[in-house]
Amino acid sequence: MKLFDPHIHMTSRTTDDYQAMAAAGVVALVEPAFWLGQPRTHVGTFEDYFASLIGWERFRASQFGIRHFCTLAINPKEANDVLLAQGVLELLPRYLGKDGVVAVGEVGFDDITPQEERVFAAQIELARDFELPLLVHTPHRDKKRGTERSLALVREHKFPEERVLIDHNNEETLPLVLDTGCWAAHSIYPNTKMDEARMVALVKEYGHQRIIINSAADWGVSDALKVPKTAALMKASGISAEAIEMIVWRNPIEFFAQSGRMDLAELESLPDIDQRQLFEGSSVLRGQVPLVVERADKEKAS
Ligand SMILES: [Zn+2]
């Protein structure tokens, strides 16, 4: 079964993670723009970050046979820096039209401040202008209130709910999201928030419609293999293969394909790997023998 991790911050991860994910069946991912742990102080650092998400990181994933997509935004935490946020909002239109950008995100709330709400609202309008889906982060503290306010803001702006993915859900927020037309994602972490067993229980209770899982792995304590691990527990727990395939493959594709920037036929075939390639003169190799894999199913198709 092909797996999709629709929320993972690969910029913070190593080539070991790419290799392990590919070996576990992950063939595509979405990397949302987010906070880097330490607040950025210049708009220009966002410009280079956005450029790396559509450039170098996309190349790096391809070197391990993984298709890389991204979402761009100013995240809720850094939105509280008024001048920085304004600068990034002005920068975003130059990047939102690029190949591989499949949503505006992560937007949403962190401390649920009025300034966060202004920046969130401005980015809902950017998603509308660029006809993109919207990826909404929900806060770690006060998650229920942050989720309710996010859903209300989407509704106030009359943004199409089927183009909204509310992320990092738990038992308390999932029913709120499913009551709307929005999609619901769940980040599976080690030892906190949502874990594999709790996710299995949620699928048994709520089914698989509009339900997505991801690892949300980043620079913190997290696990880049949580999508394959959760899929394995779902299988062992008697959830049907069809339902699992919806959650770990068809649903994230259906959601992000609304960007018009995913080639569905291409996604069904495994990507070639050619580690002889360079990106602006750089390789992921350090003198190792380049791996070159041409997929047989592609030859059959041609
Ligand atoms: Zn994230």
Mean pLDDT, the chain, rounded, equals 96
Which pLDDT score is estimated for 301? Answer: 46
- 193 pLDDT above the threshold of 90: no
| % residues pLDDT > 90 (the chain) | 96
Cα 289 to ligand 1 centroid, rounded to whole Å? 34
Q: 113: Cβ–Cβ under 8 A, 6 or more apart, which residues?
A: 80
- Residue 120: its pLDDT value, please? 98
pLDDT on residue 295: 85
Query: CA 190 → CA 93, 194, 266, distances in Å?
Result: 36, 8, 33
CB 262, CB 256: distance < 8 Å:
yes
The yes-or-no verdict on residue 297 having pLDDT over 70 is: no
Closest to 209 in 3D by CA, of 187, 188, 236, 180: 180
pLDDT of 200 > 60? The answer is: yes
Peptide bond before residue 106 is cis, with ω within 30 degrees of 0 = yes
CB atoms within 10 A of CB 143: 17
Give the count of beta carbons closer than 10 Å to the beta carbon of residue 282.
10
d(CA 74, CA 76): 7
> What are 90-133's pLDDT values in tens digits?
999 999 999 999 999 999 999 999 999 999 999 999 999 999 99
Residue type, 74: I
Please state which of the ranges 66-70, 180-184, 189-193, 282-286 shows the lowest mean pLDDT: 189-193
pLDDT at residue 302, rounded to an integer: 43
Least confident segment among 26-35, 58-67, 185-194, 282-291: 185-194
- Taking the centre of ligand 1 as the mean of its atom positions, its distance from the CA of residue 275, in whole angstroms, is 28
pLDDT of residue 52: 98
pTM over 0.85: yes
Tokens coding 151: 């859903």
Instruction: Compute, in angstroms, the gap from residue 135 CA to the centroid of ligand 1.
Output: 10
Residue 157 Cα, ligand 1 centroid: separation in angstroms? 24
Q: What is the mean pLDDT of residues 132-138?
A: 98
pLDDT at residue number 191: 86
Question: In 3-state terms, what secondary structure has residue 302?
Answer: coil
CB atoms closer than 10 angstroms to residue 116: 24
The H or E element that residue 260 is part of is none
CA of 167 to the centre of ligand 1 (A): 9
pLDDT band at 298 (very low <50, low <70, confident <90, very high): low
Residue 298 Cα to ligand 1 middle (Å): 33
Q: How far is the CA of 222 from the centre of ligand 1 (A)?
A: 11
Q: What is the pLDDT of residue 213?
A: 98
Distance from residue 120's CA to the centre of ligand 1 (Å): 16
How does DSSP assign 198-253, residue by residue?
A: HHHHHHHHH-STTEEEE----SSS--TTHHHHHHHHHHHTT--HHHHHIIIIIHHH
